[in-house]
Amino acid sequence: MSFIKELWDFLKVRKKYWLLPIIIFFFIFGGLIVLTKGSVVAPFIYTIL
């Protein structure tokens, strides 16, 4: 959790709030890939990326 806190502090200090949606997008799709690995939905997820 310290990584997330350091990332948030970086975004606040450097005023890089526009990076937040990009980071959230990568975390969501990374989670989708991990959770759907080996399932029937996996081929459809990989075609999105």
What pLDDT, on a 0 to 100 scale, did the predictor assign at position 34? 80
pLDDT value, residue 29? 84
pLDDT tens digit string along 5-46? 998 888 889 888 888 899 899 988 888 878 777 667 667 766
Looking at per-residue pLDDT, the higher value among 49 and 18 belongs to 18
CA 16, distance to chain mean position in Å, is 16
Q: Which residue has the tokens 């990568």?
A: 26
Please give the model's pTM, rounded to 2 decimal places.
0.59
Looking at residue 25, its pLDDT comes to 92
CB 14 within 8 Å of CB 20: no
Q: Which two tokens stand for residue 26?
A: 């990568």
SS3 20: helix
Decide: 45 and 25 in contact? Cβ < 8 Å: no
